[in-house]
Amino acid sequence: MLFAGEVKGELARIHPARACCRRAELIGLLHGGSGSTLRTLDHATARTAVHLATSLGMSVDPPRPSTAARSVDHARHHLRVELDPTLRAGWSWDEAPMCDRRAFLRGVLLASGSISFSASGPHVEFVLRAQRAAGALQALLAALDVRAFISIRRGRHVVYLKGQEEIGALFRLVGANRGVLELETARVGRDIHARLNRLLNAEQANLGRTVRAAHRQLSAISRLDGEGRLASLGAALRETAAIRRLMPDADLDTLASTLGVSRSAVNHRLRRIVELATNQEN
């Protein structure tokens, strides 16, 4: 199974060719944060920010470690990257071309997103500090036909995606090809498993019907034989009764092949034998 870190690693290795896309991805990295400082626990994301900024000719220092404002007992060590404060000036999602929008969402996913693959299905969520940023992200995804939902968890606003189709659409937009492949592989596996289950259930049901029918036929043959009426039946019925006794577990196709007649002919003969035994009993 693919791990979430591998998907983010693939995204971090994408280096947009266009300067506009590199700027859009940087802006996405800052989405939902405060000012022009990127805080991340992921080294690859921090390196991506530095690389993008440097490629745009911006002066940026290497990532610096810092400790989140939490108790020292379980402090989480973040990396800080100080970016150009004028980076966002003049940039608009509404006016951005599709390539910039894809890059922007890739930056948001790298900086604020979490991905998980489990037996219960894939899950993607973005944890943002501000309600406004969460609402904006939901609207941006909706503009690209990706439906997202918002919930509040421990004071943070969480934008999350439900369903393989929605998550697959997001992965395709941001260029997470390995994530798309993982989702497709899982879907094909589920389809094959469901098909096998249907086939096995149908086969089991057919086998059950065959066993029950064979039991009725053998009981009827034994009844007619015990009453001395089997020998008075026509040659075709006697031959069919003899083959059924020799092959008590065989299905109609096997009996038809042995007798050299059609399946429907065998079925008609056996039904007639059962009717004769039942009518005599009644």
Residue 181 within a domain:
no
Instruction: Based on the fold, state whether residues 167 and 212 are members of the same structural domain.
Output: no
Residue owning tokens 């994301």: 45
Q: Which two tokens stand for residue 98?
A: 């599709």
Render each residue's pLDDT in the chain as its tens digit; 282 residues: 456 678 888 888 898 999 999 999 999 999 877 678 888 888 888 899 999 999 998 888 888 786 544 444 344 557 888 888 888 888 999 899 999 999 999 999 998 888 888 777 788 999 988 888 999 999 999 999 999 999 998 888 999 998 888 999 999 999 988 888 888 887 787 789 889 999 899 888 888 888 899 999 999 999 999 999 999 999 999 999 999 999 998 889 999 999 999 999 999 999 999 999 988 644
Instruction: Based on the fold, state whether residues 211 and 160 are members of the same structural domain.
Output: no
Residue 16 CB neighbours (<10 A): 19
Name the β-bridge partners of 78: 66
User: How many domains are contained in the chain?
Assistant: 2
Q: Are 22 and 55 in contact (CB under 8 A)?
A: yes
Final residue of a structural domain among 175, 208, 236: 175
CATH classification at residue 155: 3.10.28.10
Kindly list the distances between the CA atom of residue 214 and the CA atoms of 3, 221, 245, 247, in Å, as whole numbers in the listed order.
53, 10, 10, 10
Q: What is the DSSP letter of 16?
A: -
Kindly list the distances between the CA atom of residue 165 and the CA atoms of 106, 157, 172, 179, 199, in Å, as whole numbers in the listed order.
18, 23, 11, 12, 26
Residues with Cβ within 8 Å of residue 159, at least 6 apart in sequence: 125, 126, 128, 134, 137, 138, 141, 148, 149, 150
Kindly list the distances between the CA atom of residue 194 and the CA atoms of 123, 198, 200, 206, in Å, as whole numbers in the listed order.
22, 6, 10, 18
Residue 186 within a domain:
no
pLDDT given for residue 172 in this prediction: 92
pLDDT given for residue 217 in this prediction: 93
Instruction: Based on the fold, state whether residues 139 and 231 are members of the same structural domain.
Output: no
Q: What is the DSSP letter of 74?
A: G
Taking the complete model, does pTM exceed 0.75, yes or no?
Answer: no
Q: Which two tokens stand for residue 178?
A: 């390995």
Instruction: Give me the count of residues in the chain.
Output: 282
Which range of residues forms the domain containing residue 166?
4-175
